[in-house]
Amino acid sequence: MNNSLKAGNREQGIGISYSGGNADGRGSRIFLKSFLGLFLRDLRVLGRELAPFILRVGMQPLLFLFVFTFILPRMGSGNPMAVGSGVDFGTILLPGLMAVAIMFSGIAAVALPLSSEFGITREIDDRVMCPLPLWAVALEKVCFSALQSMMGAMLVIPMAYYIPAHPVVAHVDNWYLLAVVLVLASLVAGSLGLVIGSRVAPKHIGLVFSIIVVPITFLGCVYYPWAQLDKIRWLQFAVLFNPIVYMSEGLRASVTPGVAHMPWWAILVALVFFTVALGRWGLKGFLGRVLS
């Protein structure tokens, strides 16, 4: 019996142990303990690689802030990207860079490890042998990636405070909205990472970043508000299929409410939709790869 069949049998066994009376309580404790054990294991690994994580997450926002909000404003021509906007470019850029940090952290935290675990060594078999159903193993990966995404977003804030030549005007009117947007955006990023990691061959991961992740980032209202695309109406509607748009606009609504943004209810509905849709798609791919 191969490892995948063992994992399938173990999944069925857990399902039985959750049913009925004391067994249900015992199964729930085993589930929570195992889930937390996987989470703490990944957290310990992250602690050992904290410096590479900070460099990976912080380098791109650091360079963007340094070039567009520190160097260009000090040049004679000023910052050409802020001409006529009425709002300092650093203020527009802050929520967008937080969204980029969330997206890249979430994808990297799930897709890259999965590409290795689904490789020749089949390291994924060791993980799925824990007393958890397979969907919970995938959920743990998404939840842990969400934690990394939120950490990445928080790293952008001190950079935006100290680097720009002109102070970034950020003000949180609704902390609950900020918390909900951060959590949902991070779950969307992790779910997208699960889709990529479970459905793309390891040798094509780099290609996916080049032809999918980078384009949706540049078309994700990171460097400009969605409302300012009204002069290009076809593009304004086309980018609505891009999940990063709602991350950027959600953070813009909660961190820089003075900048034009989408209605908060539309942002939350879209983030929930993408979380569910990408999560189901990624879970189906994950189960197929594990049990194949």
What would the pLDDT profile of 50-95 be if each residue is shown by its tens digit?
888 888 888 878 887 887 777 777 765 554 454 444 567 778 888 9
Give the three-state DSSP class for 225: coil
Rounded to an integer, what distance in angstroms lies between the CA atom of residue 228 and that of residue 226?
A: 5
Helices (H), 79-133: 89-117, 124-128
Among 289, 285, 288, residue whose Cα is nearest residue 277: 285
- The answer to whether residues 26 and 16 touch, using CB atoms and an 8 Å cutoff, is no
Domain extent, residue 180, equals 3-291
Token pair for 36? 């937390």
Token pair for 239? 């980018």
Tell me: the pLDDT tens digits for 119-154? 766 777 777 777 778 888 889 999 999 999 999 899
Q: Among 23-37, 78-92, 227-241, which stretch is predicted with the lowest mean pLDDT? A: 78-92
Q: What is the pLDDT of residue 23?
A: 56
Question: What residue type is 6 in one-letter code?
Answer: K
Q: Among 22-26, 82-86, 110-114, 266-270, which stretch is predicted with the lowest mean pLDDT? A: 82-86
More confident residue, 123 or 197: 197
Contact partners, residue 133, CB within 8 Å, separation at least 6: 11, 14, 15
Whether the predicted model's global pTM rises above the 0.75 cut: yes
**Using CB atoms within 10 A of its CB, is residue 156 exposed (0-12), middle (13-18) or buried (19+)?**
buried
* Dihedral over Cα of 57, 63, 68, 69: its sign: positive
Q: What is the pLDDT of residue 184?
A: 96
Rounded to an integer, what distance in angstroms lies between the CA atom of residue 2 and that of residue 105?
A: 33
Rounded to an integer, what distance in angstroms lies between the CA atom of residue 168 and that of residue 29?
A: 47
Find tokens 């926002």 and name the residue.
61
Q: What is the pLDDT of residue 226?
A: 92
- The answer to whether residues 119 and 201 touch, using CB atoms and an 8 Å cutoff, is no
**Using CB atoms within 10 A of its CB, is residue 218 exposed (0-12), middle (13-18) or buried (19+)?**
exposed
Contact partners, residue 194, CB within 8 Å, separation at least 6: 110, 111, 114, 138, 141, 142, 278, 279, 282, 283, 285, 286
Rounded to an integer, what distance in angstroms lies between the CA atom of residue 113 and that of residue 92?
A: 33
Question: What residue type is 157 in one-letter code?
Answer: I
How many domains would you assign to the chain?
1
Average pLDDT over residues 222-234: 89
Q: Residue 246 pLDDT > 60, yes or no?
A: yes
Q: What is the pLDDT of residue 223?
A: 87
Average pLDDT over residues 233-255: 93
Q: What confidence category does residue 5 fall into, taking pLDDT thresholds of 50, 70 and 90?
A: very low
Q: What is the pLDDT of residue 280?
A: 94
